[in-house]
Structure 1
Amino acid sequence: MTHTSLKASSTIAIAQISFEHAGVKGFVDTDRPRLSWRFEGDARDWQQISYDIKVARSSGSVEEFHVDSSKSNLVPWPSTIPLAPCEIAKISVKANGIGRQDTDWAHAQVEAALLTGSDWSAQMITAADLCLQSPLTQSAPQRPFYVYREFEIKRLDGIARLYATAFGMYDVTINGVPASDQVLKPGWTSYDHRLYYQVEDISSLLKVGRNRVMVAVGEGWYSGRIGFGGGKRWIYGEKNGVMMEIRVGKEVVISTDETWKWSCGPILASELYDGEVYDARLGIDDYVSEGSSVQLLDRPTASLILDKAPIKRTKEVPVKEIIISPSGKCILDFGQNLVGWVRINRGAKGKAPGDRIVLSHVEVLEEGEISTRPLRFAKCQDTIICGSDPHALDAWEPTFTYHGFRYVQVEGWGDDIDPSHFTAVIIHTDMERTGWFSSSHPMINRLHDNVLWSMRGNFVGLPTDCPQRDERLGWTGDLQVFCKTASFLFDTTSILSGWLQDLAAEQTQNDNVPPLVVPDTFKRQFNGEPDPAAIWGDVSVLSPLDLFESSGDSAILERQYSSMYDWLKKGIPRDADGLWGQRTPMDSQFGDWLDPYAPPDFPGDGRTDPYFVANAYLVYVTRKMAEVCHILGKQEEAAEFQAEWSRSITSFADRYITKAGRTVSDSQTALVLALQFDLLSSPSQREVAVGRLEELVRSNVFKIGTGFAGTPIILDVLANNDRLHLAYRMLQEKQCPSWLYCVSMGATTIWERWDSMRPDGSINPGEMTSFNHYALGAVASFMHSTIGGISPLAPGWKKIRIAPRPGGTVTWADVTHMSPYGLVRCAWRIENSKLHLSITVPPNTTAVIDVGDLQTAIGSGHRQFEVAYQADTRWPPKPIYKSMTIPLIDEIA
């Protein structure tokens, strides 16, 4: 082993200051926001020993603080004086290192928003006669409406802020200019408990003299159709409304009240599932002069929460190709399954008033035509009724809907259609990208890209299961298995901590059982309580822990503790031995959901006993709960859960493990759960279980045999039990079911089913088939931690493990993560029987390297290492093939 030192450097700087998890804008909804600062530079072995903070108030006072501490992540607010509502403070930070190696001062601004409901002066207003629909009915969508008012500003001698929220969705323009780059505002929360509001800097949009503000209001998730089988309207309420105010300095210059007017406009309908109908013959100005007085609604009873995870336009994709289908239809192919909508860059020529252009959005083609069956009861169509001015549609895009699609069928355009006429606009929650992976293997790289794209498409305000059909719900099980992967790829702390607060609030109303989906639309659609379900309910314990590991924020655990405790102590029905029981004989479990060998219409009917899965998770989650209690200093509760874990592991073995070490469900999932969760009592049992797992993997010709429960961990289990060659071989399999089968079929996102599309190009006949579903993409964690070789050893990446494990046909890999402290990177390549490593450790952290014969601890900086490398002589592993008549297909990608 050799170590090549890069030139020592004293470069150290604070790259970014943030407050709470508010992103770079610096708006917070607490009067004592915690501070974090991230470093850049290659200073060797740099550790912070103290820091200095200056707090400059708008009053002109400046407070200075010196603190002897190594802490740089989520540092307590230093001042004894809290922020007042709408107060701005200038913050300066300097970090001091050992040997007087200090950073320069870094600067940022923090601004308190409206901290309590009493800080608001605005009232909730709506269209007086519900936008001309009489009587209002659940069988049809409500037409969006506009509220507006003119107001005067005598002088602009301060910053201007807009605060707004809605029952439904809203979109604001000021003097004809959009007031925000956010979309689908205010987002979807459990509206009875928490309602997001947005704050925007609109200083540049206002002028001295006359101003006009106009707000479009649509159904959104509040009153629009949501759910299965046609769904249900008015889940939360039937009347849409908006509550908004503008402040210049400390003065409220306008707020929504009974003096506002309302009118209809060119949007005839705009639904989440069905799309938007826009009539270009109807200009908004045609209505404004005849506006009617608005009606007041009751103020929200839910807590008004600052939105720190906004949904935004994040990327644009041009048309890749125009396809003419066998039936003669014109189809746009954007080359990527994505989420958002289509913008019309230039209106169609030669259209007469009343002509219709229809855009139909789908994920896949079948026999050359758009495949709408997977959409179920969702139309996913945008319809434009043309007016007399073709330029009226230049830059048109929908306002209150979104779609999941790769292909768009265009009807009614005419013969002059051109790719330049259309652009796909991608939307998702504006999270900071924090994880990157690349390697020498193009198909593995594409798989990782697919995971990334599926996460983008399903993190639209909250973590959804799919973005295209009549569902798009916050399924708890999907997020639980994917949370670790998600939190590596993006900073998910804001979006997921908010979602978990909704989970906890709704759990208290469900007899301590976390809902299957959050927000819990099932309870309102089906008028019933959720059945307790392992994996899905276990999100209440495991996902807060994942967020704590990625962010280092123990406040998340504090806030979610009651939810965790109540689930384990009160929500789970128990048998006499403490394992899962049934409240009624009809109770069931999802088990290893989407086991590839389950029938298409019965995705829970897999090879593993569902209660084996449930109880394996119960043992594991009980142990994790003991860890949570230790972290929070709840030692008595920790001892209680530790004892419960000890009893449950014995009960589990009595039910499900033979004396030799075989599992009663003889499946890949049963074995990986037993091994990963330490459910086997002796080394000899583990040896038997590992041997049987190898036999099952080989005899299945390296194809995947797991669903939700087994898929996220099977490669880790193989790698951690001296079967790394089998892990790589399974990852590199191309036959269905496998990860790379989907890639070989042209997938650009992760599919819901291993065979959502069959090898002949037909769509899986099951009723539940999506092509954008992130759960099975949890395999990316193996790419990050095992192939790439980086993972946290302490919460928030304060201590880092660097342990890449090459294998298969991968000859180089490069993985990077932006941690709370700065950039972590490990790049390796195999060359001339040597493994060359390039490692970056951020300032104020340490790392442990474990590669071949190199085991060492290092501090911050850039370093290169070289170790001897010997290829695994077990590669490529051979299958155990039991058929005497079917030809063997053993295909390594």
Structure 2
Amino acid sequence: MNWQARMIAADDDFDGAPLLRREFGIDGGHGAVTNATLTLSALGVVEAWLNGRPVSDDLLTPGWSSYEWRLRYAEYDVTDLLAGDAGSAEGAEGGVGVLGIALGNGWYRGRLGWTGRSGFYGSELGAFAQLEVTFADGSTQTVVTDADGGWTAGPSPVLANDLYDGETIDARRRDDSWLSAGFAGDGWVGVHALDFDTAILTPYVGPRVHRWNELPVVEISTSPSGKTLVDFGQNLVGWVRVSVRGDEGAEVTIRHAEVLEHGELGTRPLRSALATDRYILSGGDDVFEPTFTFHGFRYAEVSGWPGELTADDLTAVAIGSDLERIGTFRSSDPMLNQFHENVVWGMRGNFVDVPTDCPQRDERLGWTGDIAAFAPTAAFLFDVDSFLSDWLIDLDAEQRHHDGIVGFVIPDVLKYTDGEIPTEFGPADSTAIWSDAAVWVPWTLYQAYGDQDVLGRQFDSMASHVRRVKSLLSPAGVWDGNFQFGDWLDPDAPPEDPAKAKADKGVVATACAYHSARIVAETAALLGRTEEQAEFERIATGLREAFNREYVNDGVVKSDCTTVYALAIVFGLLDAADEAAAGARLAELSAEAGYRISTGFAGTPFITDALTKTGHLDAAYRLLLERECPSWLYPVTMGATTIWERWDSMLPDGTINPGEMTSFNHYALGAVADWMHRVVGGLAPLAPGYAKVLVAPQPGGGITEAETTLDTPHGRVAVHWTVDGDELTVDAELPAGVDGVLRLPGQDDRQLSGGPVSVTVPFAAPALAAATASEK
């Protein structure tokens, strides 16, 4: 880009939400405006208007990237806004245009993390805009942000704005005349240029954030303490749109939370995040939307409302990155369907520009471990190719500036916390699963969409991670020396110590290191990088040998718990005899736990696959369909509409888990949906991007019907099956030109080609897994 614009800031900060405007004459003598493009970015978040109309419905532009090296810009076709309707004054030659910009703190200057600090990236908000106009005769005109006297700045109705704490809007300060020509601008001030390197400007790779759904009020009630509570029926991410009329200067407050605890708003999980919006009324009809913040909530507590609050006064607005839904799942089990819907809503709420851990408390960071675990599920449910590719660019940038270390979060704001990270995390260095996101996420995108370019773009990052891990191995060749999250949030860990898991951290880390090394070796082969292929094959071989030498004894894996067996089996670390023994032991441990979950972040994405791979499909189904705590379906029995961070984020008596870290919207433990799609639904790729498809439903658990669909890069694939008595009927359809394999229990493989197929075969349900002691 030929940048003529400069990054500018208001001479007065105006409560952290200044407005900037410029009037400009439209050049005459060149005919009508035939094209106009606005390029927009900011230090902070920005919204823009041209001639009184918004340039887009995007939100929180330019999002959150690794601002030190990469600031995104958005481009908008604003021809219609500048040219106007045919014959209108706006479109006349020599007319006047008005470009208006509103700024907010966003991620750039707002609070980030749990330390209470803000302003990690800078102290001044900045606006960057370049409007390029083309006329009928081919001549052009450019209007830019600069400090040459054409721009002025003034106050907005926003008195406070923060992503964690909420927004305060004073409707008495609303005056849309600032967007019109001839605005006097009393009290407005000048602007100044900021020291800014335009070389870091980069176009969006992923989608932008927008409103994607609206939900009505389900119930208005009064709490035991007399508070007015509103239930929207769904845990979501966004805000409440408010329509209200009351006395001038009166204040309405909306406080948000995900759950109720004993009938009152459950705000303790928010920690220090206020999650509160305040609206000061104008005395007329007011509509409020706090677009410089967002909240994770199902419930709202409303105070100061004038008169009687009705359902028509409030609407929940769900926001998120603009993702296309491509995968679906449905079964004969209503609770399993609700669980799957919870996975979808949890993902949508945490894909707000960055793949975050949670959307509600004083955190909302791009934790690498969460997306490492969840990426296969995400890539099936929605087209996340560009979304995660954009995030991976930031991961690579952070890694390059940190000695090859992949941080706990991307963008890595924790590097600015000056030792305020809890000491149990230890010195920052690579850690299993979290740092493995550098390898697992691009590999997932390649498998899901078949585009090898992502591997080429990320190969240096992938290789750098594994090389860093190799440098951390002990003399015995295992990864057991530095801080590890391990099997984070093992349900048997105490609430105050989520890292105190049953699984040995060295076993978990070494298994993950092997998995990453093997993927990088395979990636190098695909890219024709033979030297690197040999290098990473040697690393993988060494890790496998060390794992078996140090951690395996006659099929028993050190620490003898479900997670270590799940990882060893799925990652292919064991020989055939040990794998069979490990599978049997995994099934035994699952039965001893009453088929209640006994894994955390490390084991949960893999345990059902490990059981399935070793012939214990019945045990996998019992785990999936268990309803007692801890289990995947326990939250559903408690009315959950998203996936919880802890298996028992809410205890059976309706009390919130006493742990400091308790969220009701975390997608990581929903990673089992990937197994549901492939094994229950029966739809999996046989080649990257589903260029060849495996149709292989494995019914069990008393489920009598399931349907799975996926819009692949080659077209739509659909699988539907029913069990009726002793017969299994499978109906499948593949896109034209796509071959596949039909693999059914007890049957030889059948080759498929594009088009529909219907097959009925004899079927015997899997034997019921061993009963638990209590059931006996």
Moved over 6 A (4+): none
Q: Does 1:560 align with 2:458?
A: yes
Q: Which residue is 2:229 aligned to?
A: 331
Pairwise mapping of residues 867-886 of structure 1 onto structure 2 (< 5 A)? 867-872=761-766, 874-875=767-768, 877-881=769-773
Moved more, 509-518 or 735-744: 509-518
Cα drift, residue 354 of structure 1 = 2.0
Q: Does 1:179 align with 2:76?
A: no
Q: Which residue is 2:103 aligned to?
A: 217
Pairwise mapping of residues 134-149 of structure 1 onto structure 2 (< 5 A)? 142-149=15-22
Pairwise mapping of residues 757-836 of structure 1 onto structure 2 (< 5 A)? 757-836=650-729
Cα drift, residue 301 of structure 1 = 4.8
Whichever residue aligns with residue 12 of structure 2, its letter is D
Q: Does 1:676 align with 2:570?
A: yes
Q: Write the distance in 1 (CA, Å) between the matches of 2:39 and 2:177.
A: 28
Q: Write the distance in 1 (CA, Å) between the matches of 2:266 and 2:534.
A: 55
Pairwise mapping of residues 64-213 of structure 1 onto structure 2 (< 5 A)? 116=1, 119-131=2-14, 142-153=15-26, 154=28, 155-206=31-82, 207-208=90-91, 209-213=95-99
Q: Does 1:841 align with 2:738?
A: no
Q: Which residue is 1:256 aligned to?
A: 145
Q: Which residue is 1:292 aligned to?
A: 189
Q: Which residue is 2:87 aligned to?
A: none
Pairwise mapping of residues 337-486 of structure 1 onto structure 2 (< 5 A)? 337-344=235-242, 346-348=243-245, 351-389=246-284, 391=285, 393-394=286-287, 396-486=288-378
Render the CA deviation track for 1:138-170: whole Å, top value 9, x for unaligned.
xxxx52000011223345341222110000000
Q: Write the distance in 2 (CA, Å) between the matches of 1:547 and 1:864.
A: 31
Q: Which is richer in helix?
A: 2
Whichever residue aligns with residue 322 of structure 1, its letter is I
Q: Write the distance in 2 (CA, Å) between the matches of 1:252 and 1:757.
A: 60
Render the CA deviation track for 1:484-514: whole Å, top value 9, x for unaligned.
1100111111111111111111111212110
Q: Write the distance in 2 (CA, Å) between the matches of 1:257 and 1:793.
A: 55
Q: Write the distance in 2 (CA, Å) between the matches of 1:747 and 1:217.
A: 36
Cα pair 1:612 1:656 within 8 Å, conserved: yes
Secondary structure of the residue aligned to 2:459 is: helix
Moved more, 606-615 or 859-868: 859-868
Q: Write the distance in 1 (CA, Å) between the matches of 2:656 and 2:319.
A: 27
Q: Does 1:511 align with 2:403?
A: yes
Whichever residue aligns with residue 575 of structure 1, its letter is S
Q: How much is the aligned-residue C-alpha RMSD, in angstroms?
A: 1.6
Q: Does 1:243 align with 2:132?
A: no
Q: Which residue is 2:490 aligned to?
A: 595
Cα drift, residue 844 of structure 1 = 3.1
Secondary structure of the residue aligned to 1:650 is: helix
Secondary structure of the residue aligned to 1:526 is: coil
Cα drift, residue 575 of structure 1 = 1.4
Q: Write the distance in 1 (CA, Å) between the matches of 2:775 and 2:159.
A: 55
Instruction: Mark the runs of 5 or more structure 2 residues left unpaired by the alignment.
Output: 83-89, 422-426
Cα pair 1:750 1:777 within 8 Å, conserved: yes
Render the CA deviation track for 1:180-234: whole Å, top value 9, x for unaligned.
111011110001111111111222222322222211011111111111132x211
Q: Which residue is 2:618 aligned to?
A: 725
Flag the 1:551–1:650 CA change in 2: closer, same or farther, 3 A.
same
Q: Which residue is 1:59 aligned to?
A: none
Render the CA deviation track for 1:77-103: whole Å, top value 9, x for unaligned.
xxxxxxxxxxxxxxxxxxxxxxxxxxx
Q: Write the distance in 1 (CA, Å) between the matches of 2:473 and 2:375.
A: 27
Secondary structure of the residue aligned to 1:159 is: strand
Whichever residue aligns with residue 658 of structure 2, its letter is P
Cα pair 1:673 1:710 within 8 Å, conserved: yes
Cα pair 2:480 2:510 within 8 Å, conserved: no
Q: Which residue is 1:692 aligned to?
A: 585
Secondary structure of the residue aligned to 2:660 is: coil
Render the CA deviation track for 1:722-756: whole Å, top value 9, x for unaligned.
11111111111000000000100000000000000
Cα pair 1:733 1:741 within 8 Å, conserved: yes
Match of 1:314 among 187, 193, 212: 212
Match of 1:626 among 513, 518, 521: 521
Give me the identity figure in percent. 44
Secondary structure of the residue aligned to 2:81 is: coil
Flag the 1:190–1:868 CA change in 2: closer, same or farther, 3 A.
same
Q: Write the distance in 2 (CA, Å) between the matches of 1:335 and 1:727.
A: 31
Q: Which residue is 1:94 aligned to?
A: none
Cα pair 1:837 1:866 within 8 Å, conserved: yes
Q: Which residue is 1:21 aligned to?
A: none
Cα drift, residue 334 of structure 1 = 0.3
Q: Which residue is 1:541 aligned to?
A: 439
Cα drift, residue 871 of structure 1 = 2.0
Whichever residue aligns with residue 447 of structure 1, its letter is F
Flag the 1:562–1:816 CA change in 2: closer, same or farther, 3 A.
same
Cα drift, residue 176 of structure 1 = 2.1
Moved more, 287-296 or 592-601: 287-296
Q: Write the distance in 2 (CA, Å) between the matches of 1:440 and 1:493.
A: 31
Cα pair 1:854 1:867 within 8 Å, conserved: no
Cα pair 2:430 2:468 within 8 Å, conserved: no
Q: Which residue is 2:473 aligned to?
A: 574
Cα pair 1:699 1:879 within 8 Å, conserved: no
Cα pair 1:338 1:426 within 8 Å, conserved: yes
Render the CA deviation track for 1:212-270: whole Å, top value 9, x for unaligned.
2211011111111111132x211111111111122233734422112211101210111
Render the CA deviation track for 1:538-566: whole Å, top value 9, x for unaligned.
11111110011112121111111111111
Q: Write the distance in 1 (CA, Å) between the matches of 2:357 and 2:510.
A: 24
Q: Write the distance in 1 (CA, Å) between the matches of 2:689 and 2:4.
A: 39
Cα drift, residue 120 of structure 1 = 2.1
Render the CA deviation track for 1:302-324: whole Å, top value 9, x for unaligned.
53222231101001110111121
Instruction: Mark the runs of 5 or more structure 1 residues left unpaired by the alignment.
Output: 1-115, 132-141, 882-887
Cα pair 2:131 2:142 within 8 Å, conserved: yes
Q: Does 1:861 align with 2:759?
A: no
Q: Write the distance in 1 (CA, Å) between the matches of 2:660 and 2:412.
A: 22
Cα pair 2:604 2:669 within 8 Å, conserved: yes
Q: Which residue is 2:86 aligned to?
A: none
Cα drift, residue 854 of structure 1 = 4.6
Cα drift, residue 684 of structure 1 = 2.5
Cα drift, residue 299 of structure 1 = 3.0
Cα drift, residue 578 of structure 1 = 2.7
Render the CA deviation track for 1:352-388: whole Å, top value 9, x for unaligned.
2221100000000001000111000100000001122
Cα pair 1:695 1:880 within 8 Å, conserved: no
Pairwise mapping of residues 487-526 of structure 1 onto structure 2 (< 5 A)? 487-526=379-418
Whichever residue aligns with residue 539 of structure 1, its letter is A
Q: Which residue is 1:227 aligned to?
A: 113
Q: Which residue is 2:536 aligned to?
A: 641
Whichever residue aligns with residue 647 of structure 2, its letter is W
Q: Write the distance in 2 (CA, Å) between the matches of 1:146 and 1:157.
A: 27
Q: Write the distance in 2 (CA, Å) between the matches of 1:451 and 1:457.
A: 10
Q: Write the distance in 2 (CA, Å) between the matches of 1:125 and 1:684.
A: 67
Q: Write the distance in 1 (CA, Å) between the matches of 2:526 and 2:157.
A: 56
